[in-house]
Chain A
Amino acid sequence: MNLQEETPPVKLKGVGDSLWVTINPTLPVEDLKQALIGPFERLKHLAINARIIIDTGAEDTDDRDALIETMGAFLKKEFQVGHVTKPVAPDRSVTQKRIRQQDMGNSWHHYQNDGLVMAGRVRSGQKIQAKKHLIVLGDVNPGAEAIAGGDIIIMGSLQGKASAGQPNNEGAIIVALEFKPTQIQIGGFVAGGMADSAKNRPEFAYIEENAIVVDDYIKENPFRRLAWPEVR
């Protein structure tokens, strides 16, 4: 699965009582038409007689208008939408009620995230390998190994070896309730465990400026800054 989000050719949002369609004007018309088919088909009856606003970006030139005409005609023919208009500049003198924007494009996907959840103690000499994320409900003994293509989350004591983000995902993290590994690896970076480093609080390791950093997970939770839950 591709971890980075590519800018999709079309995006759908529900704004007020209309559907705001953002299209990338640099792409050929046929590609845009193809890309629109997917989301509109999922909308089904909601698209019929809907008000569509097509947003091509900031510039307001003639061929953009022509593009909007073409796309509008296409949508009317295929999906029986109601009006199709250009985006109108909002009237700033009147304060409008904040409308909750829903990301119509993504909320329709049912993401299946590949996470391997194992319960039990991983003993010395044993190795658990996951293609994506790995969650261990239990301890990892010294001499044991946990390897994952994504994150490693240990709901227990990590005393063995953990390699996250294999082979080259440097955004991966390793979280453990008791963090005292012999060695950790994230992507291509390796760090040895320090002897007296265990504190009785959950800690996590991540990459910052080409080095592995370990921090208190509760205080420095990196995911607090995200506005809404994202797929990892």
Chain B
Amino acid sequence: MRCPVDGKVIVVTSGKGGVGKTTITASIGAALALQGKRVAVVDMDIGLRNLDVVMGLENRIVFNIVDIIQGRCKIKQAAIKDRRIDNLYLIPASQSDDKNAIKPENMVWLCGKLKKEFDITLLDCPAGIEQGFKNSIVAADEAVVVCTPEVSAVRDADRIIGLLYAQSITPKLIVNRIVPRMVENGDMLSHEDVVEVLSIDLLGLIEMDEYVVVSTNTGNPLVLEPESKAGKALQRIAMRLDGHPDLPIENPMIQKTFWKKFSEKFSRKN
């Protein structure tokens, strides 16, 4: 019998779809569990669940979050334990209902229970600003906003930040899918441009990484892949979220050879 812990609930949101919320939620959950914390990862995308696919646990789903809320099962029965990483549990979404199946009061009750069981609960928020989003933020203690360096993503993240502030939650920012070569050429926004508009604290910068595609398709955790830059960045982000908030942020940069730096210095006219 575990003694009750005083956990916290962190919601991972973005506004825009497809920026990497689900991958980041799964990876931060895995990284925190590897650091010894008891972690629950909850899929809030009712009707379009995919956190289970990314974590490689889709074959083991029996009960889901709607079953818990409607009283058909207990939390212990629905939470799926990851066999590769200790202390990591997934509460999957339902694929047949839609987002109106849960109300904000249900989430307040559920998060209250989860806070007593798990050190950290991560909520994978769906895209948009409607019922799914409202359900996810109502009981959250902290929020992480994921944004890619694109004008449309920044616009949507800005809206989400306004809504989070209205809920009295101060969000932190992760800039995902940075391509340093494009930033250097001026084809892509730099993370400083994004931070200037969004004006919230930066939690981490993640470079575009092909290992992410392999990991999400096979269901193998990204943070267990030693060659992945994104995996390492996510481990640092997990450390910053829990215990080491002052860990310095590494800016993804292209590796320049000595001659390139030399010629750049002399070719620049001042």
Q: Which of B187-210 contact A (CB under 8 A)?
A: 197, 199
Total count of chain A residues near the partner, CB < 8 A: 10
What is the CB-to-nearest-CB distance from B107 to chain A, in angstroms, rounded to a whole number? Answer: 23
Contacts of A139 in B (CB 8 A): 199
* CB-based contact A142/B162 at 8 Å: no
**A125 CB–B CB distance under 8 Å:** yes
Total count of chain B residues near the partner, CB < 8 A: 11
* CB-based contact B155/A143 at 8 Å: yes
Contacts of A121 in B (CB 8 A): 199
**B161 CB–A CB distance under 8 Å:** yes
Contacts of A124 in B (CB 8 A): 155-156, 158-159, 162
What is the CB-to-nearest-CB distance from A177 to chain B, in angstroms, rounded to a whole number? Answer: 14
Contacts of A125 in B (CB 8 A): 158-159, 162-163
> Which among B161, B163, B197, B199 is the interface contact of A142 at CB below 8 angstroms?
B197
**Complexed CA–CA distance, A139 and B199 (Å):** 10
Give A169-180 as 1s and 0s: 1 = Cβ < 8 Å from B's Cβ atoms. 000000000000
**Complexed CA–CA distance, A139 and B198 (Å):** 11
What is the CB-to-nearest-CB distance from B56 to chain A, in angstroms, rounded to a whole number? Answer: 36
- Considering the complex, give the chain A residue whose CB is closest to the CB of B157: A124
From A121, A123, A159, name the one whose CB has the most chain B CB atoms within 10 angstroms.
Answer: A123
What is the CB-to-nearest-CB distance from B193 to chain A, in angstroms, rounded to a whole number? Answer: 11
Contacts of A56 in B (CB 8 A): none
Contacts of B159 in A (CB 8 A): 123-125, 143
Contacts of B155 in A (CB 8 A): 124, 142-143
What is the CB-to-nearest-CB distance from B16 to chain A, in angstroms, rounded to a whole number? Answer: 12
Give B59-71 as 1s and 0s: 1 = Cβ < 8 Å from A's Cβ atoms. 0000000000000
Contacts of B199 in A (CB 8 A): 121, 139
- Considering the complex, give the chain A residue whose CB is closest to the CB of B156: A124
Give A117-159 as 1s and 0s: 1 = Cβ < 8 Å from B's Cβ atoms. 0000101111000000000000101110000000000000001
Give B145-169 as 1s and 0s: 1 = Cβ < 8 Å from A's Cβ atoms. 0000001001110110111000000
- Considering the complex, give the chain B residue whose CB is closest to the CB of A126: B162
What is the CB-to-nearest-CB distance from A192 to chain B, in angstroms, rounded to a whole number? Answer: 16
- Considering the complex, give the chain B residue whose CB is closest to the CB of A141: B158
**Complexed CA–CA distance, A123 and B159 (Å):** 6
**Complexed CA–CA distance, A95 and B155 (Å):** 68
What is the CB-to-nearest-CB distance from B165 to chain A, in angstroms, rounded to a whole number? Answer: 8
Contacts of B163 in A (CB 8 A): 125
**Complexed CA–CA distance, A121 and B151 (Å):** 18
Give A98-123 as 1s and 0s: 1 = Cβ < 8 Å from B's Cβ atoms. 00000000000000000000000101
Contacts of A143 in B (CB 8 A): 155, 158-159
Contacts of A141 in B (CB 8 A): 158, 197
**Complexed CA–CA distance, A141 and B162 (Å):** 11
Residues of A bordering B, CB below 8 Å: 121, 123-126, 139, 141-143, 159
A sample of 17 inter-chain contacts (CB < 8 A) reads A121-B199, A123-B158, A123-B159, A123-B161, A124-B155, A124-B156, A124-B159, A125-B158, A125-B159, A125-B163, A139-B199, A141-B158, A141-B197, A142-B151, A143-B155, A143-B158, A159-B197
